[in-house]
C-alpha cells in the first residue's frame, strides 16, 4: 500500500509538468461546428475552455464508442457498485463483499479466472478502460464515507487525465473501497490503480492500459443464529458469527496495448456532435497479459462450520493462480462516410493461452501443478454505428479453429431502429448464440474444504433481448428470454453440477420516470420466471423506486434534491455462500426477501461540486428482523453516510 501511495504521488506531481497544448475553443462554440481536436496543428492560445471526449474501443479496436464520464448529480448517493449495476443482489451486507445479481440478465459474465466473477464490480480491467482527449487537464475526486469509528465505510475514487500534446493523452485512476463491517470479522478492502494513454497522429493510433486490482475480505461465515436478528435487540457488532481469522484475498494484474494503422486516403466527417478524420481501412494489433492469484486462509479450521476437511485439520491455505496471454490481429474496412448504410466489415485471428496453477492431488507434499489451455479463433463481423443514421447494427462471430477449445463459437449482435432524426426513441434487439467450454474451475479444484473432478459438456446458450426506449417520455420497456442447455451451477452441497434439463428464464422490465413540477418519481420494475426453480431460484418481482423533489436556488448556483429510495424484491431461495470457494450455491432451507429497504437522502450541486447526505436503511428501526440477503447474512443496520464529488477542469 505504501508503494502504491508513492506511485500515486509521483503521478499527481509529474503529470502537470507536461506542456498542455490545445485549441482555443470549446466544442459547440466553434465556427463551422468543428471539434477542438479537428485542427491538430493549430497554435496554442490562452484561456482554453474545457472540452473532453471519452470513449472505449468496441471489439478490441474496431470502432469507437463514446462513453461520457458521469458528472451528474442524479443518484450520487447510491454509490454501491453492485446496486448501480442491478436493483437486487444477494450479497454479504458489507461494501465491498462477494455478490451475485438477483436479476438474471444482469449477472456478471464468467471471468477466465473464475474467482473474480463474484467480485467483478470492484475490478477495473482492460475491457472497462476509458480513453480521453481533452483541451485542459481534467480531475475528478470522489470521497464517500459513513458509519463512524469501528464501523467505517469509505470510497475514494480519483481520476486525472490531460493531453501532453493535442494528439497524445495520458492519465491515471486510483479507486479504493474499504469497510470495517457492521458485524464481527467482516473487515474488507478492494482497490485498484491504473495508468492509461492514447496517441492518435496521422495514420497511427496507440492505446495503452496498465493496472492492478487487489482485495481482501475477512470471512465470518454469517451469524450463528437468526434469533439474534429477529428476537433480540443486541448490537450488530456483538452478534456471534461462525468464523474468525479467515479471509479471501486476490490480486489481478492487467497489461493491454493496441496499435492501429490507418490505410487509404483520409476524409473529414462532420456530424452534429463532432468532426473527425476517417480512413477507408485499418490494420490493428493488440496484446493482453493478465496475472491472477487467489488465496483462502484459515488460521484455525472450523470443522463445525465446514462439513468436510480434506487436507489439514489445523489451518487452511488454498492458492490458485493463472496467467493469460492474448494476441489479436484484425483488418477493418470502415463504414463509408458518404453512404451511411454501407456497413463496415472486419476479420482477424485471436490467439489465447491460459496457464492455471493449483493443487492437482490430495497429497500433502508436491501437490501443486499446472494445466495449460490454448486456442486460435477466427473472428469477424459487420457493423453500422453511424451516429447520423436512424438504423444501426453490429454482428460479430468467433470460432475456435485450433486448440483445446476447438468448435467453441459465439455469434452475437444487435439491431437498433430509431423513430426520428433526433434519435431519442428507438427499438433495440440484442441476441447471442454460443457454445462454450466450461470454465476450468468447474472441471477440477482441490481445496482444504472443496474437492471435485468433472468432465462437463459445453454450455449452449441462446439469449434474446428486446427493448423500447423513449427518452422524451422517459420510458423504457423490455423483455428477455434465455435458453441454456447443460447449465452448470453449485448444488445444495456446494458442488458443481451440470443440469440435464434445459433452463429457460423469462425476464420483463419497465422503467418510467414520472414528473410533476419539481417532483420526480423514477420507477424500475423487473419480472422474472425460471423454468427450473430447483436449480435456479429468482425473485419474481424486484423493484427500485427513486423519488425526490428537485429545485435550484440563488440564481441556479445551487441545485438541491431531497428524496426517498425504496429497494424491494419478493421472497425466493437466495443462495448460500461458502467462504472457502468464495462461491454462492443453492439452498432450499429458507426464503429471504419480501423486505423493503428504505433510504432517505439530500443531494446538492454547487458549481462543480456535488455533495450528499444519506441515512441508509431508515426502516431498520421499525422492522421484524427479516432483513437478510444471502442466507444467514443480514444486511447492514441503519447508517448515516455523506460524500463529495468534485470535478476540476484546469
Give the pLDDT of residue 340: 80
Domains in the chain, ordered, with CATH?
2-648 (2.40.170.20)
Give the pLDDT of residue 297: 98
Lowest mean pLDDT among 46-55, 241-250, 332-341, 363-372: 46-55
The string of pLDDT tens digits covering residues 71-114 is 667 789 999 999 999 999 999 999 999 999 999 999 999 999 99
Lowest mean pLDDT among 98-112, 269-283, 339-353, 394-408: 269-283
Dmax (CA) for the chain in angstroms is 76
Give the pLDDT of residue 516: 96
32 — pLDDT class (breaks 50, 70, 90): very low
d(CA 488, CA 404) in angstroms, rounded, equals 19
Is the pLDDT reported for residue 331 higher than 90?
yes
Give the pLDDT of residue 46: 56
Between residues 516 and 276, the one the model is more confident about = 516
624 — pLDDT class (breaks 50, 70, 90): confident
Q: Does the model's pTM come out above 0.85?
A: yes
The percentage of residues in the chain with a pLDDT greater than 70, rounded to a whole number, is: 92
Is the pLDDT reported for residue 375 higher than 60?
yes
Is the pLDDT reported for residue 397 higher than 90?
yes
Shortest CA distance to 60 belongs to which of 322, 469, 336, 352?
A: 352
Is the pLDDT reported for residue 626 higher than 80?
yes
The percentage of residues in the chain with a pLDDT greater than 90, rounded to a whole number, is: 82
Cross-strand bridge partners of residue 269 = 276
d(CA 480, CA 596) in angstroms, rounded, equals 26
d(CA 425, CA 418) in angstroms, rounded, equals 6
d(CA 410, CA 412) in angstroms, rounded, equals 6
Using an 8 Å Cβ cutoff, are 215 and 96 in contact? yes
d(CA 357, CA 622) in angstroms, rounded, equals 50
Cross-strand bridge partners of residue 482 = 463, 505
Cross-strand bridge partners of residue 332 = 282, 346
Read off the C-alpha cell for 129: 478502460
CB-based burial, 43-75: b 16+ in 10 Å, e otherwise: eeeeebbbbbbbbebebbbbbeeeeeeeeebbb
Q: What is the CA radius of gyration of the chain?
A: 26
The string of pLDDT tens digits covering residues 184-214 is 999 999 999 999 999 999 999 999 999 999 9
Shortest CA distance to 7 belongs to which of 204, 207, 210?
A: 210
Is the pLDDT reported for residue 167 higher than 60?
yes
Listed in sequence order, the residues at least 6 apart from 199 whose beta carbon sits closer than 8 Å to its beta carbon are 167, 168, 169, 205, 206, 207
Give the pLDDT of residue 18: 35
The string of pLDDT tens digits covering residues 290-312 is 999 999 999 999 999 999 999 99
Q: Which burial class, exposed, middle or buried, applies to 127 when counting CB atoms under 10 A from its CB (0-12, 13-18, 19+)?
A: middle
Shortest CA distance to 583 belongs to which of 494, 452, 521?
A: 494
Q: What is the dihedral of CA 40, 43, 46, 51, to 10 degrees?
A: -10
Average pLDDT of the chain to the nearest whole number = 91
Shortest CA distance to 464 belongs to which of 430, 509, 505, 421?
A: 430
Residue with cell 443486541: 234
Shortest CA distance to 48 belongs to which of 134, 151, 150?
A: 134
277 — pLDDT class (breaks 50, 70, 90): confident
The string of pLDDT tens digits covering residues 485-508 is 999 999 999 999 999 999 999 999
Read off the C-alpha cell for 419: 423513430
Give the pLDDT of residue 72: 67
Read off the C-alpha cell for 400: 475456435
Is the pLDDT reported for residue 548 higher than 60?
yes
d(CA 534, CA 491) in angstroms, rounded, equals 9
The string of pLDDT tens digits covering residues 429-443 is 999 999 999 999 999
Give the pLDDT of residue 5: 45
Give the pLDDT of residue 274: 67
Give the pLDDT of residue 599: 98
d(CA 129, CA 141) in angstroms, rounded, equals 18
Give the pLDDT of residue 385: 94
Using an 8 Å Cβ cutoff, are 134 and 196 in contact? no
Listed in sequence order, the residues at least 6 apart from 63 whose beta carbon sits closer than 8 Å to its beta carbon are 57, 334, 344, 383, 385
10-34 average pLDDT score? 35
Q: Per this entry, what is the length of the chain?
A: 650
Give the pLDDT of residue 341: 83
Cross-strand bridge partners of residue 50 = none
Amino acid at each position: 500500500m505504501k508503494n502504491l501511495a508513492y506511485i500515486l504521488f509521483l503521478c499527481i506531481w509529474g503529470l502537470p509538468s507536461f506542456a498542455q497544448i490545445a485549441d482555443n475553443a470549446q466544442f459547440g462554440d466553434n465556427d463551422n461546428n468543428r471539434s477542438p481536436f479537428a485542427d491538430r496543428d493549430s497554435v496554442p492560445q490562452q484561456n482554453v475552455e474545457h472540452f473532453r471526449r471519452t470513449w472505449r474501443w468496441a471489439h478490441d479496436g474496431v470502432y469507437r464508442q463514446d462513453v461520457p464520464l458521469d458528472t451528474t448529480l442524479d443518484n450520487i448517493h447510491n454509490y454501491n457498485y453492485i446496486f448501480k449495476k442491478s436493483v437486487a443482489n444477494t450479497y454479504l451486507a458489507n461494501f465491498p463483499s462477494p455478490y451475485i445479481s438477483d436479476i438474471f440478465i444482469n449477472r456478471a459474465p464468467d471471468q477466465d479466472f473464475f474467482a473474480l466473477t463474484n467480485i467483478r464490480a470492484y475490478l477495473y480491467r482492460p475491457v472497462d478502460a476509458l480513453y480521453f482527449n481533452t483541451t485542459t487537464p481534467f480531475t475528478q475526486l470522489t470521497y464517500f464515507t459513513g458509519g463512524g469509528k469501528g464501523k467505517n465505510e469509505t470510497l475514494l475514487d480519483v481520476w486525472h487525465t490531460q493531453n501532453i500534446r493535442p494528439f497524445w493523452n495520458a492519465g491515471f485512476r486510483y479507486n479504493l473501497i474499504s469497510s470495517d463491517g457492521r458485524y464481527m470479522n467482516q473487515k474488507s478492502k478492494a482497490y485498484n490503480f491504473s495508468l492509461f494513454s492514447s496517441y492518435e497522429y496521422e495514420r497511427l493510433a496507440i492505446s495503452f492500459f496498465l493496472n492492478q486490482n487487489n482485495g481482501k475480505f475477512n470471512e465470518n461465515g454469517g451469524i450463528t443464529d437468526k434469533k439474534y436478528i429477529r428476537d433480540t435487540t443486541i448490537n450488530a457488532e456483538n452478534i456471534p458469527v461462525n468464523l474468525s481469522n479467515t479471509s479471501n484475498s486476490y490480486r489481478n494484474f492487467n497489461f493491454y496495448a493496441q496499435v492501429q494503422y490507418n490505410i487509404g486516403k483520409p476524409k473529414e466527417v462532420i456530424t452534429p456532435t463532432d468532426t473527425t478524420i476517417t480512413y477507408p481501412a485499418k490494420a490493428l494489433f493488440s496484446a493482453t497479459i493478465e496475472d491472477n492469484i487467489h488465496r483462502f486462509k484459515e488460521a484455525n479450521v472450523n470443522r463445525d462450520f465446514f462439513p468436510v476437511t480434506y487436507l489439514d485439520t489445523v489451518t487452511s491455505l488454498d492458492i490458485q493462480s493463472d496467467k493469460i496471454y492474448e494476441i489479436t490481429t484484425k483488418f477493418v474496412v470502415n463504414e463509408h462516410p458518404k453512404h451511411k448504410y454501407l456497413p463496415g466489415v472486419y476479420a482477424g485471428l485471436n490467439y489465447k493461452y491460459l496457464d492455471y496453477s493449483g493443487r492437482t492431488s490430495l497429497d500433502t507434499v508436491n501437490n501443486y501443478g499446472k494445466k495449460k489451455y490454448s486456442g486460435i479463433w477466427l473472428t469477424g463481423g459487420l457493423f453500422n454505428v453511424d451516429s447520423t443514421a436512424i438504423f444501426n447494427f453490429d454482428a460479430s462471430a468467433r470460432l475456435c479453429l485450433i486448440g483445446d477449445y476447438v468448435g467453441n463459437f459465439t455469434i452475437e449482435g444487435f439491431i437498433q431502429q430509431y423513430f426520428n432524426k433526433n434519435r431519442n426513441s428507438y427499438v433495440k434487439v440484442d441476441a447471442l448464440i454460443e457454445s462454450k467450454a466450461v470454465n476450468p474451475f468447474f472441471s477440477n479444484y482441490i481445496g482444504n474444504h472443496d474437492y471435485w473432478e468433472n468432465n462437463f459438456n459445453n454450455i449452449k446458450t441462446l439469449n434474446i433481448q428486446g427493448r423500447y426506449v423513449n427518452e422524451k417520455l422517459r420510458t423504457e420497456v423490455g423483455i428477455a428470454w434465455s435458453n441454456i442447455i447443460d447449465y452448470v451451477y453449485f448444488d445444495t452441497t456446494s458442488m458443481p453440477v451440470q443440469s440435464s434439463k434445459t433452463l429457460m428464464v423469462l425476464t420483463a422490465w419497465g422503467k418510467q420516470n414520472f414528473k410533476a413540477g419539481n417532483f420526480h418519481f423514477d420507477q424500475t420494475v423487473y419480472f422474472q420466471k425460471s423454468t427450473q426453480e430447483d436449480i435456479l431460484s429468482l425473485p419474481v418481482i424486484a423493484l427500485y423506486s427513486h423519488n425526490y423533489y428537485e429545485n435550484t436556488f440563488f440564481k441556479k448556483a445551487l441545485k438541491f434534491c431531497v428524496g426517498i429510495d425504496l429497494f424491494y424484491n419478493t421472497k425466493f431461495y437466495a443462495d448460500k455462500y461458502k467462504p472457502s470457494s468464495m462461491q454462492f450455491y443453492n439452498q432450499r432451507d429458507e426464503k429471504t426477501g419480501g423486505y423493503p429497504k428504505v433510504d432517505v437522502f439530500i443531494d446538492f450541486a454547487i458549481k462543480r461540486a456535488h455533495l450528499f447526505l444519506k441515512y441508509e436503511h431508515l426502516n431498520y428501526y421499525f422492522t421484524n428482523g427479516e432483513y437478510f440477503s444471502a442466507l444467514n447474512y443480514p444486511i447492514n443496520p441503519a447508517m448515516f453516510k455523506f460524500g463529495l464529488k468534485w470535478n476540476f477542469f484546469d
